[in-house]
């Protein structure tokens, strides 16, 4: 069961939106998805309360540093994918989640502060990798990309990050009304009314392409990873 965390030390980078889009699309594809809501602001838990039970989705709230590992172990029994939404911080819970993840997604909007928040997460990953002698696969996800941003500009950003050895997800998450509305309406992109939400078909297409790319990188047969097990040994909590 792949564990995928969304992290950026800067608030408002698009973590929760990207995490929810991925989780709901994976569920739409028929996978059982657990979302661990490790953000004290509990946006995903509120979305879940508003939405009511959702097919293939389970949301775990009330997460602490001490309980995170147990939650992940429990999810491994019931879910095909676990998605962790983290606060815009660089604290103990973020550090623990990064160390227990099979892949860390770092959402970045095209602004300098977001990039700095992303750099803080990249530094933290580097530190855990060095101290724990393990490898934590990670990628930057470009978010809130507008149609004004040309493919050429995106390719330039991608090239720049790749030159520094940072992988960038091919599918950027576009700025869409539907991605905001999901938190106000509840449900998923697939339960929304296309007559009421502009460009819903494009939003669905974008979220699907993002999820398919993640599924290709992290097929469900990936078992609880080597890095996570080694991290647990390093923190003296071998499972
Ligand atoms: N692709 C998008 N299209 C439209 N609006 C978006 C998109 N991504 C994020 N937003 C909006 O931007 C704001 C911040 O996004 P979000 O809550 O996902 O960021 P976050 O990184 O989780 O923030 P925090 O650090 O506070 O948890 C929200 O109002 C959200 O609706
Ligand atoms: Mg958030």
Ligand 2 centroid distance, CA of 86 (Å):
7
- Closest to 86 measured CA to CA, from 76, 73, 100: 100
Q: Is the CB of 17 under 6 A from ligand 1?
A: yes
Ligand 2 centroid distance, CA of 16 (Å):
4
Distance CA 94, CA 39 (A): 9
From the CA of 37, which ligand is nearest? 2
Q: What is the dihedral of CA 179, 185, 188, 189, to 10 degrees?
A: -50
Residue by residue, pLDDT tens for the chain (239 residues) are 999 999 999 999 999 999 999 999 999 999 999 999 999 999 999 999 999 999 999 999 999 999 999 999 999 999 999 999 999 999 999 999 999 999 999 999 876 667 888 999 999 999 999 998 989 999 999 999 887 666 777 777 778 788 878 999 999 999 999 999 999 999 999 999 999 999 999 999 999 999 999 999 999 865 555 555 566 666 555 44
Residue 238 is predicted with a pLDDT of 46
Ligand 2 centroid distance, CA of 35 (Å):
13
Distance CA 220, CA 34 (A): 13
Residue 46 is predicted with a pLDDT of 98
- The tens digit of pLDDT for each residue in 129-172 reads 999 898 999 999 999 988 766 677 777 777 878 887 899 999 99
Distance CA 16, CA 62 (A): 16
Tell me the domains of the chain and their CATH numbers. Answer: 3-231 (3.40.50.300)
Residue 103 is predicted with a pLDDT of 97
Q: What is the dihedral of CA 213, 216, 85, 227, to 10 degrees?
A: -140
Residue 233 is predicted with a pLDDT of 63
């Amino acid at each position: 069961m792949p564990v995928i965390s969304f992290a950026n030390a800067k608030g408002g980078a698009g973590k929760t939106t990207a995490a929810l889009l991925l989780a709901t699309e994976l569920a739409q594809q028929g996978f059982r998805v657990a979302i661990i809501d490790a953000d004290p602001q509990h946006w995903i838990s509120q979305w879940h309360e508003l939405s009511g039970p959702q097919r293939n989705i389970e949301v775990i709230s009330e997460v602490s540093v001490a309980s995170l590992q147990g939650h992940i172990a429990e999810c491994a029994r019931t879910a095909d994918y676990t998605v962790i939404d983290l606060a815009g911080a660089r604290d103990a819970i973020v550090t623990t989640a990064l160390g227990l993840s099979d892949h860390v997604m770092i959402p970045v909007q095209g602004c300098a502060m977001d990039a700095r928040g992303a750099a803080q997460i990249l530094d933290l990953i580097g530190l855990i990798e060095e101290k724990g002698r393990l490898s934590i696969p990670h990628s930057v996800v470009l978010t809130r990309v507008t149609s004004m941003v040309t493919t050429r500009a995106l390719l330039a950003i991608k090239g720049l990050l790749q030159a520094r050895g940072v992988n960038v997800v091919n599918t950027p998450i576009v700025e869409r009304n539907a991605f905001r509305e999901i938190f106000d309406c509840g449900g998923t992109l697939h339960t929304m009314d296309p007559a009421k939400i502009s460009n819903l078909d494009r939003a669905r297409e974008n979220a699907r392409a993002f999820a398919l790319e993640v599924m290709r990188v992290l097929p469900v047969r990936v078992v609880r990873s080597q890095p996570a097990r080694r991290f647990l040994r390093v923190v003296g909590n071998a499972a």
